[in-house]
Structure formats: structure tokens, C-alpha cells
Amino acid sequence: MPVSSSEGKRALLIIDEAQKLNQRLMEQICLLSNIGRKEVKLINIFFVGQNEVLDIMKDGKNEALRQKYTVHYTIEPLTESETQEYIKYRLKVAGSKTEIFNSEAIRESFSFSKGYPRLINIICDRALLTSFVLEVNKIGEKIVKQCADDLKILVE
């Protein structure tokens, strides 16, 4: 049943970086999830985090909480073409009207990030900052490689 109160409002607790939760916090969250009436659940809990969240939920100590979750979704890494579209979209939303990363820079961003959006964001953010400091208008492969080296992101 949907989360509701006597006023018909819904409550949702979103826990970001859930892979960092310790056992004590997981127990507290489990207690929160028990709040409600027989037929009405008063709070929904939404865990967001890296894949390690699944390992935490599989731990026997979290059996009661695991039995209460109904859906989980894993975002797979982006492909190279999806990475290109992702970078272009993020720049457009930020207000860019020109192409800032050339195709080699995007390919290098994908190579270092393996398509993981968090790493794409980190590499591109560093590349944008570096290009600003160097007063470069177009980001190429060399800047992205330098940024990845600075961030200690290793290529396997």
C-alpha cells in the first residue's frame, strides 16, 4: 500500500551513500520501517548507493530489513556512445552552447571511467577546471589523461 497519513500525505526517506551505513544505523532504519498501522505503511525507505549496498542487505543481521524491500535496481556502466551523450547533456544543462570536449577527450573519459557516471563526472569536472586554468577552450585527450593521472585512476 502507498505511504499515507490521515491527511493523505506520503512520506519517503531517501538514504544516499547507503553503502556507508554501519550495522547500528541499519538497525535504526529497520525500526523506522516498522512505524505504521496494520494496513498502512507510514514511511517508505529508498536506499541509494554503490553495489556494496546489496552486500550489506544480504548480511544475515539485516534479514528483517531485507524482507521488507520490494525492488532493487542496478545502473549498469554507460557505453562509449552513452558516455558521449551523457557528457554533452550535462554540459548543455549547465548552459554550454558549444562543444567543449573533442571526440578523443570523450573517448579518453570513457576509457578511464569505464562508463561509471560518478567517475565520468569527476574526470570531466577536473578537465573543465584544468582547461580553465590553462585558458584552453577545447578539451582534448591530453588534458583528460593528465586529469586521470592526477586523480590516480588506473587503467587496467
Residue 85 domain-assigned (yes or no) = yes
Q: Report in angstroms the alpha-carbon separations of 109 from 69, 116, 129, 140.
A: 35, 10, 15, 10
Quote the CA–CA distance of 129 and 136 in Å, as a whole number. Answer: 10
58 and 101 housed in the same domain: no
Residue 155 domain-assigned (yes or no) = no
pLDDT of 5 > 60? The answer is no
Quote the CA–CA distance of 74 and 94 in Å, as a whole number. Answer: 26
Across residues 93-114, what is the average pLDDT?
A: 95
Q: What is the CATH number of the domain that holds 97?
A: 1.10.8.60
Residue 1 domain-assigned (yes or no) = no
- What residues form DSSP beta bridges with 44? 12
Residue 44 domain-assigned (yes or no) = yes
Q: Specify the higher pLDDT residue, 78 or 75.
A: 78
Residue 138 domain-assigned (yes or no) = yes
pLDDT tens string 128-155: 999 999 999 999 999 999 999 988 754 4
Q: What is the DSSP string of 69-105?
A: ------PPPP-HHHHHHHHHHHHHHTT--S--B-HHH
61 and 27 housed in the same domain: yes
- What domain count does the chain have? 2
Residue 51 confidence (pLDDT): 82
Work out the number of other CB atoms within 10 angstroms of the CB of residue 136: 14
Residue 43 confidence (pLDDT): 82
Residue 75 domain-assigned (yes or no) = no
Cα four-point dihedral sign 89, 92, 97, 102? negative
Q: Which three cell numbers stand for residue 81?
A: 556512445
Query: Domain span at residue 25?
Result: 12-68
pTM of the model: 0.69
Residue 62 domain-assigned (yes or no) = yes
